[in-house]
A and B are shown apart, each in its own frame.
Chain A
């Protein structure tokens, strides 16, 4: 715990914020949960946590009046990690809430798994599933392809292949880790994926 960066976990009320806080705190004491733009403004890194409904989470972001601050940080090239729903908020739009625009930090659209493509799959996709690493970056350093991570979601992020770091098979091969410039997103919950997940969190802290 030698590092002390200003890492802000954004609290938009519907997420498992304490879990991700506990995981980051293993590697950096500077982590803080906040929904206040004053804290956010000075952030070195921003975590958008998972769990929740796209529309509801976005509505909360708006009411907290922190979207302009997020855009400023984005322009300053501060690092963002979106987890599950947090990753989906980085997109342009989501089928979960068709009337609401996303942050648009990584071009793409969040889509529902098509139940008809494979009659045997149950939704939500809940449990441990492997990732197939497509492109190695420092975020996945020392993480082996085929490592299992914990997923819990019904929607997935569709984007250009050039942003895809890893894929996971469930009916289709969907994008499980994505990256564009200073924006990272993972569809699984690294904070709940034991060793491999904590490794990914450490890698993000070290970036």
Chain B
């Protein structure tokens, strides 16, 4: 049976790991390399590594850093931030990434997204989508690390992605990010059945029961979290043990 995946997200900016609330990402939480070593020991299922400043500063991915990180990483490593062309993807794969995550460029240029899926296989491309609710309580997609409101309805974007048959998405609620208030369960309940590809839930995990609730009440394929692992004593292994206690199959 396919297990649910638990994925720590590591955000970085100018070679430092950062984490804050609602995508502000100003608070330094260390350096990436030691973090990856620790996470491997704790047996996470995957790691997502995102450069949150690359697109807005028009920077290329930090290939040297990825290359260093990958030496210690024997779980799948997804790398994102600043990707806008196929050459960058090839280079990332050749220096240690297993998958890439694309946000701004994927939302703005579906033609590019489709091409990337054709060249590298759709399973290699994770589309990262960030959303906020508007005044009518509709989920709306934001890009550029939460700085730009695209005014596109999240449901419409998901339908488009399903039509072009992408590999998987990382779906993050910006307003819950870093708040420890729990995942946006109602949204995942609604959107996961609309798409044929796996959905990774992200944003809001604050305690062990948040993960159990998410998996019990929705059909998400994976759960991503960052702040809970940076700022509390809870480790990925604690989360897995709690899920197993609740009869959810996890890899340990």
**A15/B93 in contact, CB under 8 A:** yes
**B124/A127 in contact, CB under 8 A:** no
Give the CA-CA distance A14 to B99 in the complex, in Å: 11
**B221/A122 in contact, CB under 8 A:** yes
**A170/B198 in contact, CB under 8 A:** no
Question: Quick one: CB contact mask for A130-160 with B, threshold 8 Å, 1 for yes?
Answer: 1000000000000000001011111000000
Question: Quick one: CB contact mask for B1-22 with A, threshold 8 Å, 1 for yes?
Answer: 1111100000000000000000
Q: Confirm or deny: A111 has a beta carbon within 8 angstroms of a beta carbon on chain B.
A: no
Question: Quick one: CB contact mask for B235-252 with A, threshold 8 Å, 1 for yes?
Answer: 000000000000000010
**A16/B74 in contact, CB under 8 A:** no
Nearest Cβ on chain A to B203's Cβ, whole angstroms: 20
Q: Confirm or deny: A32 has a beta carbon within 8 angstroms of a beta carbon on chain B.
A: no
Q: A17-B93, A124-B168, A127-B45 are in contact. Are A85 and B1 (CB under 8 A)?
A: no
Q: Which residue on A lies nearest to B67, using beta carbons? A: A18
**A52/B197 in contact, CB under 8 A:** no
**A53/B121 in contact, CB under 8 A:** yes
Question: Quick one: CB contact mask for B98-131 with A, threshold 8 Å, 1 for yes?
Answer: 1100000000000000000011111110000000
User: Which residues of A in the span 148-197 have a Cβ within 8 Å of any Cβ on B?
Assistant: 148, 150-154, 169-170, 189, 191-194, 197
Q: Is the interface of A mostly helix, strand, loop or mixed?
A: mixed
Question: Quick one: CB contact mask for B140-157 with A, threshold 8 Å, 1 for yes?
Answer: 000000000000000000
With a CB–CB cut-off of 8 A, which chain B residues contact A169? Answer: 1
Number of A-B contacts (CB under 8 A): 119
What number of A residues sit within 8 Å (CB to CB) of B? 41
**A152/B76 in contact, CB under 8 A:** yes
**B121/A51 in contact, CB under 8 A:** yes
Give the CA-CA distance A64 to B242 in the complex, in Å: 50
**A22/B76 in contact, CB under 8 A:** no
With a CB–CB cut-off of 8 A, which chain B residues contact A56? Answer: 118-119
Sampled A-B contacts (14; CB under 8 Å): A15-B93, A16-B97, A18-B67, A22-B74, A115-B196, A120-B219, A124-B123, A126-B123, A126-B221, A128-B251, A148-B251, A154-B123, A169-B1, A189-B76
Can you name 17 extra interface pairs (CB under 8 A) apart from A15-B93, A19-B77, A127-B45?
A: A14-B93, A14-B120, A16-B93, A16-B96, A18-B70, A18-B94, A53-B121, A124-B123, A126-B221, A127-B3, A129-B1, A150-B45, A150-B75, A152-B99, A152-B124, A192-B76, A194-B40
